[in-house]
Amino acid sequence: MGNSILSDDGVGIYAAREVRRRLAEAGRSADADIVESEVAGFALMELMAGWEKIILLDSIQFEGLQPGTVIRIEPEDLHTSLRLRSVHDIDLPTALELGRRMGLDMPARLTIFGIQAQDALTLGESLTEAAERGLKETVELVLQEIRDS
């Protein structure tokens, strides 16, 4: 996930592309479907429906983290109660829960790898050095996760 023309905001998209390339190189493209998405909220809920397991890659902007840091997040870690977190749309845990309540086939397992962004406000199609480091680490973690699945 991310916006691929907004510097580090796009690091999740770039990482997913690299995962796709590495899987193809190893002849293992069938192991995972790589989907690039620039949407959130309701649209993300619909996109997530029907998959057994999802590994979500996105930039993060958490307080106190060094740029480029990669952290593994479970959806319940994002916040402790289902609150309105957005002025435009619903957030990820709410999207998951809403999908379930509406009877959609939401993924049983969801893992998020977040890469701390340094600059996610400057329009551009390249990453900062920190995000680039985070991308490399993420790709290895995701490939391992796919192998273990």
Positions 104 through 123 that interact with other proteins (CB under 8 A)? 112, 114, 117, 120-123
Query: What are 56's strand-pairing partners?
Result: 112
> Smaller CB distance to other proteins: residue 19 or 114?
114
Which 34-93 positions form the footprint of other proteins (CB under 8 A)?
A: 38-43, 46, 58-63, 73, 78-79, 81-92
CA-based diameter of the chain, in Å? 43
The CA angle 75-5-33, to the nearest 5 degrees, is 50
Say whether residue 144 binds other proteins (CB under 8 A): no
Q: Which is nearer to other proteins, 117 or 142 (CB)?
A: 117
Among 5, 11, 14, CA closest to 131: 11
Residue that has been written with the tokens 């592309």 in this structure? 17
Q: Which tokens belong to 8?
A: 């580090």
Question: Under the rule (CB under 8 A), what is the footprint of other proteins?
Answer: 1-6, 9, 38-43, 46, 58-63, 73, 78-79, 81-92, 94, 97-98, 101-103, 112, 114, 117, 120-124
